[in-house]
Structure 1
Amino acid sequence: MLIVLAAVYGAAAGLLIPRPVHRMTVEPEEEWRAVCPGGHAITGPARGWLGRGRCPDCGPYGPGPLPVAAGTSLVCAALAAATGPRPELAAWLVMAPVAVLLAAVDWRVRRLPDVLTLPLAVAGAALLGLGGRLTGETWPFWRALLGGLLLGACYLVLYLVNPRGIGLGDVKLAVGLGIALGWYGRQTLVVGGAAGVLLGGLYAAVLLLVRPGARKTVMPLGPFMIIGAFCGLLLGAAATA
């Protein structure tokens, strides 16, 4: 039942993702999009941020709602299956749709907005802190905070060494992902963090083989960081069960 509920929740959350993806796929110096591709104003709850990615006049916009909903549903169901009825599952289910949204935006415009990366880290820390208080085990919470600092520091070093390959958005995302991974300990943090770098490197290698002229192409690292962290969480949660 828990897995089914998580899947339904993920699907419902996924249906709301295409609209903010469309609105956020702009360059850093530009304002968020306020109109659909046809030029019609986007309205609705929360100043137009909530609702389906569909214009009454010209139809759907943004990424396909069904693939996004299916993907988010699968992610939430997998997290529920691995974690079980433990308090940290609430944090994973809150963070998962935001992570999917971040991956979609970064893939489209090579950008990880602060309005998503920073709340992701804060929400993860707050919910894990509440989970630690409910269970009476506070050490995993402090371990999670340490994981966020360590993974964020690692990406900060990478940014200082190669600012053209790593962005500050990646550094801020690493803090939130590190908080989640750190909850399960050092091994999960290392596996999840390394998996993101490895997946990004493999994608870059394949891209160079297929398109040799893509050497100077800016690659989105965020989606691979998120996939790596997702894999790390599944392994960490399964090992803790």
Structure 2
Amino acid sequence: MSPPDALAGVAVLLSYAWLAAASVVLTVVDVRTHRLPDRVVLPGYAVGIVLFAIAAALTNDPGPLLRAVVAGAALFTGFLLLRVVNTAGLGGGDVKLAGVLGLFLGRIGWDAVLTGLVVAFLIGGVSALVLLALRRARRSTALPFGPFLLAGAWCGILTAVVVA
């Protein structure tokens, strides 16, 4: 592996290490408060874009960076539309987090994006059904969706690593 490739790998690794740390903080905060604080979510855009741009420059391959930006924008826009359609559903923090996770999943590939998205909704839906069946929640009970988004994203990331 050439030195530029190794440095690019370090930049990408650092970005996912940041995401791992932020994931723990966001999960704990969202479960406790039903909030995803901007001061934790929003830096994810800068961390991802800057470190992915460094990797792109070092490898002379802008493809993963461009795909990451498109995926981040697509998930942000899609979740924003879901929020507009049903304001009682997703919160603004979920919308912003979806954009960040789209960025990180998009860096890996479209399969990771799709896996992360589908798994998030699956485990969120199954969890809601279990809580309803156990009478621990009602249809009107608000559940934090951030932890499900994060779990789905990590499933997408880890699946891509295992399959590759």
TM value normalised by structure 2: 0.89
Deviation (angstroms), 1:146: 0.6
Aligned to 2:5: none
**Alpha-carbon distance in 2 for matches of 1:156, 1:169:** 10
Which AA in structure 2 matches 1:123? V
> Which of the two has higher C-alpha Rg?
1
The residue aligned with 1:237 is: 161
User: Equivalent of 1:157, from 63, 71, 81?
Assistant: 81
Shift of 1:199: 1.0
Map 1:28-47 → 2, pairs under 5 A = none
- What SS class does the counterpart of residue 78 from structure 2 fall into? helix
Return the structure number with greater relative CO, CA threshold 8 A, min gap 6.
Answer: 2
> How do 1:75-154 residues align onto structure 2 when only pairs under 5 Å count?
86-87=9-10, 88-154=12-78
CA contact (8 A) 1:122 1:176 kept: no
Task: Report whether the alignment pairs 1:173 with 2:97.
Answer: yes
Query: For 2:78 and 2:120, how far apart are their aligned partners in 1?
Result: 13
Residue in 1 aligned with 2:4? Answer: none
- Aligned AA (2:72): G
Gaps of 5+ in 1: 1-84
- Residue 189 (str. 1) matches residue 147 (str. 2): no
Is the Cα–Cα contact under 8 Å of residues 121 and 177 in structure 1 kept in the other structure?
no
Query: Deviation at 1:213?
Result: 5.1
Q: Cα RMSD (Å) of the superposition?
A: 1.5
Q: SS of the counterpart of 1:214?
A: coil
What is the DSSP-based 3-state SS (H/G/I as helix, E as strand, rest coil) of the residue aligned with 2:9? coil
Amino acid at match of 1:121: Y
- Give, in whole Å, the separation in 2 of the partners of 1:154 and 1:194: 13
Q: Are the aligned partners of 2:64 and 2:108 in contact in 1 as well (CA < 8 Å)?
A: yes
Which of the pair is proportionally richer in helix? 2
Match of 1:202 among 118, 121, 126: 126
1:180-219 CA-partner distances (Å, limit 9, x unpaired): 0001211111111111111111111111111165221110
How many residue pairs match? The answer is 156
Aligned residues with identical type, % of pairs: 38
Q: TM-score by structure 1 length?
A: 0.62
Look up the equivalent residue of 1:169 and give its one-letter code.
G
The letter for the 2-side match of 1:146 is V
Report if the CA contact (8 A) 2:131-2:137 is conserved. no
Superposed structure 1 runs of 4+ greater than 2 Å apart = 237-240
Query: What are the ranges of 5 or more consecutive residues in structure 2 without an aligned counterpart?
Result: 1-7
Secondary structure in 2 aligned to 1:215? Answer: coil
Measured against aligned partners, the alpha-carbon deviations of 1:19-56 in whole angstroms (never above 9, x if no partner) come to xxxxxxxxxxxxxxxxxxxxxxxxxxxxxxxxxxxxxx
Q: Which amino acid aligns with 2:143?
A: M
User: Structure 2: which amino acid aligns with 1:198?
Assistant: L
